[in-house]
């Protein structure tokens, strides 16, 4: 079994419980900025976060990737197109 990941800011919820409690987890995520870790057989599966948090995380990931692209461009170390696309899709 995976090590418990529950902290003061992350509530853990088995996937079986999420089937009936997903709406409350989504509201807590959006309104109180309280993410919920969904687990399956004790292993992390997904995290329910509010839309605003997701948007910020997505923007941060893109900024990080763009920064890396710019750094490599300055150093003449290029990234293959497929690698860039894969990074954006992950």
pLDDT at 85: 76
Asked, for residue 5, whether it belongs to a domain, the answer is no
Asked, for residue 4, whether it belongs to a domain, the answer is no
Q: Considering its fold, how many domains does the chain have in total?
A: 2
47: phi > 0 → left, psi -120 to 50 → alpha, else beta; which? beta
Asked, for residue 79, whether it belongs to a domain, the answer is yes
Domain span at residue 82 reads: 53-89
On the question of pLDDT at 2 being above 60, the answer is no
pTM higher than 0.85 for the full model?
Answer: no
pLDDT at 26: 93
pLDDT at 4: 47
pLDDT at 35: 93
Contact 67, 87 (CB under 8 A): no
> How do residues 27-71 score in pLDDT, each as one tens digit?
999 999 999 999 999 899 999 999 999 899 888 888 888 787 777
Between 14 and 10, residue with greater pLDDT: 14
Instruction: Return the number of other C-beta atoms located less than 10 Å from residue 36's C-beta.
Output: 23
CA distance from start to end of the chain: 26
Note whether 18 and 33 are same-domain residues: yes
């Amino acid at each position: 079994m995976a090590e418990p990941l529950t902290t003061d800011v992350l509530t853990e919820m088995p996937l079986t419980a999420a089937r009936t409690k997903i709406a409350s987890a989504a509201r807590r995520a959006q309104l109180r900025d309280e993410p919920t870790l969904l687990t399956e057989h004790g292993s992390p599966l997904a995290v329910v976060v509010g839309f605003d948090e997701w948007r910020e995380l997505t923007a941060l990931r893109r900024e990080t990737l763009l920064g890396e692209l710019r750094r490599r461009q300055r150093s003449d170390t290029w990234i293959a197109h497929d690698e860039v696309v894969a990074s954006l899709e992950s």
